[in-house]
Structure 1
Amino acid sequence: MAKKKKKSVHLPHEVITEILLRLPAKTLVRCRSIYLWNPSTGIHRKIPIASNHNTSKLLLCGFAYDTIADDYLVVLGSYKYIVTLDPVYSPVNLEIFSLRANKWKQIEVAAYLPYRKTANSVEGPIVGLFLNGSIHWLVCNYETGENFITSFDLKEMRMSEIALPDDFCMELELYYSLSSIDYDLFEFCGHISAWKVEMQTIEIWVMQEYKVHSSWTKTVHFSYDPAPSFNPIYFTNCGDIVGTVGDGGLVKFNDKGVMLEYRSYGDCFFERSQMVVYTESLLSFPGGTTDQP
């Protein structure tokens, strides 16, 4: 008796895209295949798994373009975590993937990197902000408890630290505690900015001159109508602030805290996923294809 052949299931490309967009970063890291994708053109390229994928926990991730080498780069920072009565962290190790060379390379950094997530980071790795030729992350020093910005300079291939505003006041809390305080980085009119949301009040600080601590300026501070887990991701040319909310949507406020617009994008809670802003481009990257994987 002939065996019945198993019927293969084919999912349309747009369905696969919707599934991947809704997956949290932690789940994506576990996928057997990871792709770099340009939403504007549909061009994508498969990225090989980093060498320490199965032995370390991913803490930092970032994507950048090297204008000098005309190369796209993926930067990952990972660490080993030992679960004991007193959790033990190892220093962060950095790896960089070059699309042009199609390989990962261990980054030798002179600085000791005792980093972990800030108290309210979402599940999965911290997504870096690429600005001024560097990738920036908001992290915590697990030895001192201090929160600050760490940056990786693509040209110099080195890490450095940027102090937060003196009055930013980030409270240290247990990683898994419930809190109404959240904070992160985003780009504000071409400048690196730090925002904090606490009890329906948002505060945005802008570094007017890069890496000059005295140039930190509180630019926005207002209370807004209750919205669960509001997290700013973009500042419009009109001065409005667009962000995500925990009930599965995008919301836009003006600088007075008045809600101007709300758009639902499905049951995709902020605690389970991350959203980032990208710049539309019709340019292709090395080795990219529009063929379905």
Structure 2
Amino acid sequence: MSDSNKLIRWGYLPDEILTHIFTFLPIKSIIICTSVSKTWKSLIQNPTFISTHLHHSHTKSQNLFLLLNISRNDREVYALHKEDDDPDFTEYTSFESPFHAPAPGFHEVVGTCNGLLCLSYDHANDIFLWNPCVRKFLQLPYPDVTVDTHGVSCTSFGFGFDPKTNDYKVVRILSIMGSPSDFVKSRPVVEVYSLSTGEWRMLSASASLPPVCAKISHRPPAFANGALHWIAVTNDKKRFVLVFDLGDEVFRQILLPELPSYTGKMMWTRVSVYGNSIAGFQRRVETGQINIWVMKEYGVASSWTKFSHQCPTLGMPSPCPVGFRRNGEVILLNIGLELVSWNPDSQNIKNLEINGYFDTFFGSYVESLALLDKATEGVVTY
């Protein structure tokens, strides 16, 4: 059979069979297929197919990698590392950022979800959604709340997917600072960007922020069960988990475990995704001791369970936990900005031979076709 006859037969395959075949192809092959014909391109860029492909990717464990934000030769590089059955954490691929932050800074990772990265520069107004797999990005419109409109503010970001509306959302929580002395009395303002509408809107639900909330961590929140989770601080210096449900767009709080008085200054540093729930990290800066607490039953404060005991034997002066591997090991950022993998059961430490930086981002990642159906509306192909 000639090659031309083969192409004709492919052209007569029913759409259902073609989309089924496309679902099992690697991302790069799918992108190539969009150039074969208008019919194939239309099938692949259909939002239903993109959603089906994402669901298939989530069910294939070999498609799950871990994302690291690092720098090489003063360039922003985002590397995906193999996770399953790979103790060496081998690099799978890497992407050089298409954005150029003013020296000497780097873009901060607000979060990652379904193959999309949300980036900002210095918590400012330059915010991007980027899918490196399909080489597309979208610069979000400037928010309505800025320094010019409301004055200086302390900003916390979040990014995730709302399964109720099938929409991606970016959240900005701003504590407006009339003056440094008024910080604890600052007025919180909440804005939400919706990818489906392409617009920011200010929430009246910002009033539902817990009235005791004085400060919210600037670190990227943990996205789990359709909600964002930050470490927050009350007026009387107590820490709790601030939760924002992306579907209902309301806040709630989860209490953290009460610590015995003898623990001293064990500080809650961040929340991390742990399976289908969350975990909280504590560390003592002076000694490098670490506590990890896991919420066994999501949303039930009484289910907090200590995942590990204090660990003064790690051999590092001030390790900072940044997240979990799928095998249960913890990734730590050493004082020399080296990333290491620590097994809490065996106490073994493995140097991953990867250099990070102070705000190195670490999280799960799945390759996807998100943004591929956005041919216009400000989406840039590079």
Q: Which TM-score tier does this pair reach, normalised by the shorter chain? A: 0.7 to 0.9
Q: Structure 1 residue 89: deviation in Å?
A: 3.2
Partners in 2 of 1:233 and 1:104 — Cα distance?
30
1:2-23 Cα offsets, whole Å, 9 max, x none, are xxxxxxxxx9993655868962
Tell me the distance in 1 between the aligned counterparts of 2:248 and 2:289: 38
1:208 correspondence with 2:290 = no
| Compared CA separation, residues 43 and 24, structure 1 to 2 (3 A) | closer
Number of the residue aligned with 1:138: 231
In the TM superposition, what is the alpha-carbon distance from 1:61 to its structure 2 partner? Answer: 0.8
Q: Is 2:169–2:246's contact at 8 Å kept on the other side of the alignment?
A: no
2:329 paired residue among 240, 259, 273: 240
Distance 1:30 1:170, change over 3 A: farther
Q: Confirm or deny that 1:260 pairs with 2:340.
A: no
Q: Specify the alignment match of 2:106 in structure 1.
A: 23
Percent sequence identity is 23
Cα distance in 1 for partners of 2:262, 2:237 equals 11
For residues 170-181 of structure 1, the aligned pairs below 5 Å read 181=267
Q: Could you say which residue in structure 2 is the equivalent of 1:14?
A: 96
Show structure 2 runs of 5+ residues with no match: 1-74, 77-94, 110-119
Q: Which residue of 1 aligns with 2:259?
A: 167
Residue of structure 1 aligned with 2:277, choices 185, 191, 196 = 191
Q: Deviation digits for residues 3-58 of structure 1, max 9, x if unmatched?
A: xxxxxxxx999365586896264981466643111233332111112111223424
**Partner SS state of residue 68, structure 1:** coil
| Aligned pairs for 1:65-104 within 5 A | 65-83=161-179, 87=183, 89-104=185-200
What's the Cα RMSD here?
A: 3.3
Residue aligning to 1:4: none
The yes-or-no answer on 1:111 pairing with 2:111 is no
Q: Which has the higher helix share?
A: 2
The residue type paired with residue 66 of structure 1 is D
Kept in 1: contact 2:322–2:362 (CA 8 A): yes
List structure 1 runs of 4+ shifted beyond 6 angstroms: 168-173
Question: Which residue in 2 is equivalent to 1:279?
Answer: 365
**Alpha-carbon shift at residue 72 of structure 1 (Å):** 0.8
Name the residue aligned to 1:250: 339
Give, as a single letter, the amino acid of the residue that structure 2 aligns with 1:258: N
Task: Identify if the C-alpha distance between structure 1 residues 82 and 195 changes in structure 2 by more than 3 Å, giving closer, same or farther.
Answer: same
Question: CA contact under 8 A between 1:91 and 1:112: conserved in structure 2?
Answer: no
Q: Give the counterpart letter for 1:257 in structure 2.
A: Q
In the alignment, residue 145 of structure 1 is paired with which amino acid? K
Closer/same/farther in 2, CA of residues 77 and 15 from structure 1, 3 Å limit: closer
Give, in angstroms, the shift of residue 129 of structure 1: 1.1
Structure with the bigger RCO (C-alpha within 8 Å, sep 6+) is: 2
Q: Which runs of 5+ in 1 are unaligned?
A: 1-10, 174-179
